[in-house]
Structure 1
Amino acid sequence: MYLNKYLSGKVALNQYANYIMQNSASFHVHYWGVMPNHYNTQCHKHSFFEACYVVDGEGIYIDDDMTYPLQKDKMFLSRPDILHQIKSKSGLFLLYIGFELIESESNEEWIRIMEKAKHCPKVVLDVKDHTTAALLWKSLLIQAAQPENAFLEDILTNLAYAFILSLLQTFVPSLQSENQGRLPKTSSPLLHQAKLYIRDNLAHPLKLTEVAGYLHISGRHLSRIFVSELGVSYSKFVKKERIQKAATLLKKTDLSINDIAEKTGFATVHYFTRVFTSEIGASPGHFRSLYIDLKTTSYNKSDLSLA
């Protein structure tokens, strides 16, 4: 049951994961709690959200005059300004968190999301211990109980952000359907793999059929992915990557232009020079002399006016 880890993890979470800022949202976590034997509370309310997860035990939760039975793997959400109460004769093993959005540091979309959460259709849910919110909650406490290290705060705040998102999606079903439309297209992982393969193998011909075969898809499918997701053809993307790598090598190394042409997949120095000059507006030799004293590996045609 990880009781000791949960209890020691609570201390670190309250120390490190009380201010969470990511993706245009800032959250203030008022407290992280672990209560192995929770019995009764007086009827009360908060100005913020409080979520609880029943690790074990039985009891009841009263929310705005509605009574709900509690048992293992129930999760319940107390909304701002709503009177609520927890009762148990035998004791509940509870995990709990009190949090709110810092509106002055968050965008309008997040304010709208939190308003939806205030009116969620169900405040008590059976989540099972393998659902995302339950797993993240336990993972947070176990991770927080680890020996302190240089990455602990970053790990905890990132996990805490993911956990709060999972809580919101658990209690506000409409957010799940809204997010479906915002998810990357199913081919995005393929595009990512294709880009990695191209960048790691620029010295090779990189024919469309070759890369498509590596990804176990057709050349036509791969071509469509590049056009639909990047707005450029496969060949234009490969050429851009070759030129970018060549520009970096010209600036950062003493390799000959012939070697650079070879490393970036150009069949001949003549072809490399012609393509590079067309794209950049200066020959490889001119480009190298122009940037030799600059502390950058990026390039921009407008910079050539400095020559």
Structure 2
Amino acid sequence: MYAWPKSEERLNRYARLLQGESLTVHVYYWGAVKGLIENAVHKHSFFEVCYVAGGTGVYEEGDNAYPLREGVLFCSRPNIYHQIRDVDQLDLLFVAFELDEKLSKPDEFEYYNQALNSGPIWTEKQQYSPTVHIWHALLFPDGEGLAAPISLINQLAHALILTFPTLVGGKNSTAETLLPASNAAMLISRAKLYIRDNLGANLSLSEVARYINVSERHLSRLFSQSIHESFSMLVRYERIRAAEQLLSQTIMPIKSIAERCGFSSVHYFTRTFAEAKGIPPAAFRQASRRNIEQE
């Protein structure tokens, strides 16, 4: 009924920055995947709303498990560990996004975030809801059907995201502009977001590849061709970057920083940080504080 890969590529190319009268939305990625495989426990720093178009599975968040079947719509909230498991021919539509606070009206921004953060995260029997009708309108038909004009994609995508609080939040609340991006760049972007948000986990190339639904070999090739560095180099860079922020902006013990950033020991963290920055973590923290005092 729909050309899934083409639909996903089209949305990721033309529906990224969604600007409206009261809310502006940054979309990190769209997904339209047939036969999704299960993923590891992970978290995001943004919202991800998913709709089950077919098949079955289980969405697990903390101690709660929610059944996945056609018609179910659910929301993964920021910084909450979750997982999709026990899948059987699971067809999933999803969008990952966050609101731009500076470009949105303060009351609408607060209202939307509060609604999605406080309402129910799972709802069923949404096959004929306005939300799902809009989502289907964004997809590219398989065969001779007509797709929505590119000029309307931003408006439809913006309208779709504004409906989410009525289903998985609790309330209600419009759009153009585009930000093109190649499919390879989008996959790299998703991989980077996953790495950044799960530094404390035992990250592996196979785990990240499985999460973004590509082969391990393909993801490795994307890293070397697109950003000219290996997966391990990127993970190391992100861990050092996160450690820098925690050292300069918090009083968190160095041992805790090492654990949060995914280093196996304080000794390994100290050695790796010193190699990358030319200064040990403790000395870096002291230097950062002196710089702040002098400003």
* TM-score of the superposed pair, with normalisation by structure 2: 0.54
Matched-pair contact (CA < 8 Å) for 2:59–2:65: yes
Is the counterpart of residue 163 in structure 1 residue 160 in structure 2?
Answer: yes
Unaligned runs of 5+ in 2: 174-295
Q: Secondary structure at the match of 2:138?
A: helix
**Cα separation, 2, equivalents of 1:10 and 1:144:** 13
The superposition leaves residues 62-101 of structure 1 with CA deviations (integer Å, 9 ceiling, x where unpaired) of 1132111111110110011111100124231101100110
Q: What is the SS of the residue equivalent to 1:99?
A: strand
Aligned length: 173
- Cα 1:148–1:169 change in 2 (3 A) is same
What do the CA deviations read for 1:146-203 (whole angstroms, capped 9, x no partner)? 9999x94430001011101111221222x24xx6xxxxxxxxxxxxxxxxxxxxxxxx
Letter in 2 for 1:138: H
Taking only the aligned residue pairs, the percentage that are identical comes to 30
Q: What TM-score comes out, normalization by structure 1 length? A: 0.52
> Matched residue of 1:117: which SS?
helix
Work out the CA distance in 2 between the residues paired with 1:119 and 1:73.
Answer: 22
1:15 equivalent among 13, 16, 34: 13
**Residues 148 and 18 of structure 1: is their aligned pair in 2 closer, same or farther, counting only changes over 3 Å?**
farther
Residues 2 and 141, structure 2, Cα contact 8 Å, conserved in 1: no
Distance, in Å, in 2 between the alignment partners of 1:121 and 1:65 is 17
Aligned residue in 2 for 1:3: 2
What letter corresponds to residue 44 of structure 1 in structure 2?
A: H
Contact 2:74 2:123 in 1 (8 A): yes
The residue number in structure 2 matching 1:116 is 114
Cα deviation for residue 13 of structure 1 reads 0.9
Contact 1:13 1:32 in 2 (8 A): yes
Compared CA separation, residues 96 and 54, structure 1 to 2 (3 A): same
Secondary structure of the residue aligned to 1:59 is: strand
Q: Which residue number in structure 1 is paired with residue 97 of structure 2?
A: 99
CA distance in 2, matches of 1:146, 1:64: 44
Choose 1 or 2 for highest CA Rg.
Answer: 1
- Secondary structure in 1 aligned to 2:44? coil
Q: Mark the CA change 1:147 to 1:22 in structure 2 (over 3 Å): closer, same or farther.
A: farther
Q: For residue 154 of structure 1, what is the aligned residue in structure 2? A: 151
The separation in 2 between residues aligned to 1:3 and 1:106, in whole angstroms, is 33
**Distance in 1 (alpha carbons) for counterparts of 2:17 and 2:142:** 15
Output the aligned Cα RMSD: 2.5
Aligned 8 A contact 1:8 1:145 in 2:
no
Question: Hey, which bits of structure 1, 4+ residues long, moved more than 4 A?
Answer: 143-149
